[in-house]
């Protein structure tokens, strides 16, 4: 006997609900697959650094049990009602959780860091830069596999957002499983003492542990202002010279890229330049990103984050004052200042910041010289084009005797590392290429007799966002995360060869001030590497990228860590004798810089990267 129409209608109505149930199961399976892949990525990162790399991968999966617990809890809640509008909030939360987890896994694989909510605010408006980064990544085999995973994930999400049948018993099973996985995730094994333990944490725990933007109370700030005694500046006779100055910040250049600096990489030109001039084997990058490197090298201040900085789309918030920055220092001696890069100056509003600091000119991807060159990350032409453009600029002013300072920021070695000579994704090849271009620039400057009365400084902008090598870890310990080569080339009388002492990016400003002035003063947390003899800072600060609320302080051959948490800021490890003065000074400096005022509404309004401000050439 044929079934009545109502039976067919009932069966048809149940079909999408069954698909929704299948989608829920696939969502959990997909999360488990991602957890396994994240564990494998951690094995790759830890290989050579620990006795048991697989233990690190297993720990990462165990720590992610809390994420799976959340997903199971949301799934259980969605199965308690047959009404779709009551299911929908839990379906959306499940989808968002999976999406965030997938993005975190991609960032771990490509940049060796977690997905931090506040980085979404900071970089979210840079749609063009993100797109170009994605295009470069998709050119690789890894990127293509990721694309397959993304397509599969979208299919799973579509199914998972369908209506589900009411299944109270299945919901109860999900809750029991969620409780079990939650308890598993609470365990903190010995492997969590690994120096890069934040990478082992699940991304929610990593975000919740970040106290960097916790504000100081009014009472605490008032107390600091009454009690704080600032350290006396260190003043000394200057050298009164007038050389032209070139500072090159090489994207991601790290100690391990150079044999001379203790690594296994291949940078023969940089190493030869260093041996013939001066190099600093114990040099510290003050931050972990390009913007933090620029802040240190141009303002002379360690990039200790402004309150609210990681909630802000303005990367340079709190460091806009021209007082004491390179342009002000050299303008006082009749210099002009110029900034060169091939990247998009609209990215993170660099052009606005350079104008506020007082640079006389700045140029980036918009420079007509780069027309016809292939563009990659950040719409940038390769390093060869950058150096050729600078030499063109230099030759155009050969009859101008007025002194100048030029700051050059490279882009070609930004991850994912593409060798411009053959388009291969090859970190070693990309740095061999960059090294060859540095050698070309050095030779061209020598032909122009630049070094007779000129100074060339070469530094990485920060240590590469790649796993620590076993060699780095054995040689430098935890501080390997803050290391970058530094070379000074000139024929002027300076200390030559390997210069001992812990120097840093923030020493560039006081060193130039001492070189140009008859007398110069600097703070105790700044050194002068062009003086005779070179004088390291009393202590050096490095803002970490893996633990955003932690500032590494290097002093007297030791390392201490200052944890930023508003009124509850405190020290980890051996403290310097003047620990309170350092901590209170950092707190007052952060309070004095104010709070970054960008927020989610601003991000929505300013969805597109701003156009670079015109450079007054």
Residues 376, 467: one domain?
Answer: yes
Report if residue 507 sits inside a domain. Answer: no
Residues 264, 318: one domain?
Answer: yes
Average pLDDT, rounded, for the chain: 85
How many structural domains does the chain have?
2
Give the domain range for residue 184.
Answer: 11-189+196-208
Q: Quick one: average pLDDT of 311-318?
A: 78
Report if residue 77 sits inside a domain. Answer: yes
Report if residue 614 sits inside a domain. Answer: no
Report if residue 615 sits inside a domain. Answer: no
Last residue within a domain, chosen from 146, 175, 208: 208
Q: Quick one: average pLDDT of 427-452?
A: 96
CA dist 222 and 535 (Å) reads 35
Residues 465, 564: one domain?
Answer: yes
Residues 260, 152: one domain?
Answer: no
Residues 204, 277: one domain?
Answer: no
Q: Given a cut of 90, is residue 140 above it in pLDDT?
A: no
Burial of 556 (0-12, 13-18, 19+ CB in 10 A): exposed
Q: Coil, helix or strand for 334?
A: coil
Summarised one tens digit per residue, pLDDT across range 497-555 is 999 999 999 999 999 999 999 999 999 999 999 998 999 999 999 998 877 889 999 99
Residues 160, 302: one domain?
Answer: no
Report if residue 213 sits inside a domain. Answer: no
Q: Which of 483, 481, 536, 532 is nearest to 507 (CA)?
A: 536
Last residue within a domain, chosen from 208, 239, 272: 208
DSSP H stretches of helix in 277-347: 290-299, 326-331
Residues 331, 465: one domain?
Answer: yes
Burial of 3 (0-12, 13-18, 19+ CB in 10 A): exposed
Residues 384, 520: one domain?
Answer: yes
Of 165-179, 197-211, 498-512, 568-582, the poorest mean pLDDT is in 197-211
* Confidence at residue 141, expressed as pLDDT on a 0 to 100 scale: 67
Report if residue 274 sits inside a domain. Answer: yes
Residues 282, 418: one domain?
Answer: yes
Residues 172, 270: one domain?
Answer: no
Report if residue 457 sits inside a domain. Answer: yes
Start-to-end CA distance of the chain, whole Å, equals 89
Report if residue 387 sits inside a domain. Answer: yes
CA dist 468 and 449 (Å) reads 39
Q: Coil, helix or strand for 593?
A: coil
Residues 45, 97: one domain?
Answer: yes
CA dist 24 and 31 (Å) reads 11
pLDDT bracket for residue 18 (50, 70, 90):
confident
Q: Given a cut of 70, is residue 405 above it in pLDDT?
A: yes
pLDDT bracket for residue 143 (50, 70, 90):
low
Residues 200, 285: one domain?
Answer: no
Residue with token string 């009690």: 227
Q: CATH code at 591?
A: 3.40.720.10
Q: Quick one: average pLDDT of 197-205?
A: 74
């Amino acid at each position: 006997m044929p079934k009545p129409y109502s039976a067919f209608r009932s069966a048809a109505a149940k079909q999408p609900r069954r698909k929704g149930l299948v989608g829920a199961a696939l969502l959990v399976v997909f999360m488990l697959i991602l957890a396994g892949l994240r564990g494998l990525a951690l094995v790759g990162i830890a290989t050579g650094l620990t006795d048991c790399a697989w233990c690190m991968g297993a720990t990462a999966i165990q720590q992610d049990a809390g994420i799976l617990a959340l997903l199971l809890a949301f799934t259980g809640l969605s199965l308690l009602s047959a009404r779709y509008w009551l299911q929908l909030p839990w379906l959306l939360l499940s989808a968002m959780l999976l999406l965030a987890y997938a993005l975190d896994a991609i960032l771990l694989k490509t940049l060796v860091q977690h997905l931090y909510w506040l980085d979404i605010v900071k970089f979210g408006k840079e749609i063009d830069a993100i797109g170009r980064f994605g295009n470069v990544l998709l050119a690789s085999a890894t990127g293509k596999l990721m694309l397959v995973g993304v397509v599969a994930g979208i299919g799973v999400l579509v199914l998972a957002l369908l209506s589900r049948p009411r299944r109270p018993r299945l919901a109860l099973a999900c809750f029991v499983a969620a409780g079990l996985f939650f308890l598993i995730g609470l365990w903190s094994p010995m492997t969590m003492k690994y120096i890069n333990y934040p990478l082992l944490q699940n991304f929610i725990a990593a975000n919740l542990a970040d106290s960097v933007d916790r504000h100081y109370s009014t009472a605490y700030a008032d107390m600091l202002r009454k009690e704080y005694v600032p350290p006396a500046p260190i003043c000394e006779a200057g050298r009164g010279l007038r050389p032209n100055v070139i500072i090159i910040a090489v994207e991601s250049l790290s100690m391990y890229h150079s044999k001379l600096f203790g690594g296994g990489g291949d940078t023969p030109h940089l190493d030869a330049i260093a041996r013939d001039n001066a190099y600093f084997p114990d040099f510290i990058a003050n931050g972990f990103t390009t913007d933090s490197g620029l802040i240190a090298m141009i303002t002379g201040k360690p990039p200790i984050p402004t309150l609210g900085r990681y909630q802000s789309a303005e990367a340079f918030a709190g460091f806009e004052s021209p007082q004491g920055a390179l342009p002000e220092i050299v303008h006082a001696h009749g210099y002009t200042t110029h900034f060169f890069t091939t990247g998009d100056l609209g990215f993170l509003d660099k052009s606005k910041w350079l104008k506020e600091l007082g640079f006389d000119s700045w140029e980036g991807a918009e420079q007509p010289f780069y027309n016809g060159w292939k563009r990659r990350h950040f719409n940038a032409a390769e390093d060869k084009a950058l150096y050729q453009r600078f030499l063109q600029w230099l030759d155009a002013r050969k009859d101008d005797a007025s002194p100048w300072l030029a700051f050059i920021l490279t882009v070609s070695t930004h991850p994912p590392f593409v060798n411009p000579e053959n388009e291969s994704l090859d970190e070693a090849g990309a740095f061999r290429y960059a090294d060859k271009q540095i050698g070309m620039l050095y030779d061209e400057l020598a032909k122009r007799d630049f070094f007779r009365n000129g100074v060339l400084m070469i530094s990485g902008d920060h240590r590469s966002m790649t796993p620590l090598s076993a060699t780095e870890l054995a040689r430098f310990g935890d501080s390997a995360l803050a290391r970058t080569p530094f070379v000074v080339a000139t024929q002027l009388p300076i200390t030559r060869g390997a210069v001992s002492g812990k120097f840093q990016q923030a020493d560039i400003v006081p060193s130039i001030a001492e070189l140009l002035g008859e007398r110069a003063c600097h703070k105790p947390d700044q050194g002068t590497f062009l003086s005779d003899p070179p004088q390291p800072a009393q202590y050096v600060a490095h803002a970490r990228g893996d633990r955003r609320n932690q500032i590494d302080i290097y002093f007297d051959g030791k390392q201490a860590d200052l944890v930023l948490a508003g009124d509850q800021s405190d020290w980890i490890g051996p403290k310097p004798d003047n620990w309170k003065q350092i901590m209170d000074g950092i707190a007052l400096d952060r309070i004095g810089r104010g709070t970054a005022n960008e927020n989610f509404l601003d991000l929505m309004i300013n969805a597109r990267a701003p156009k670079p401000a015109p450079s007054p050439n």
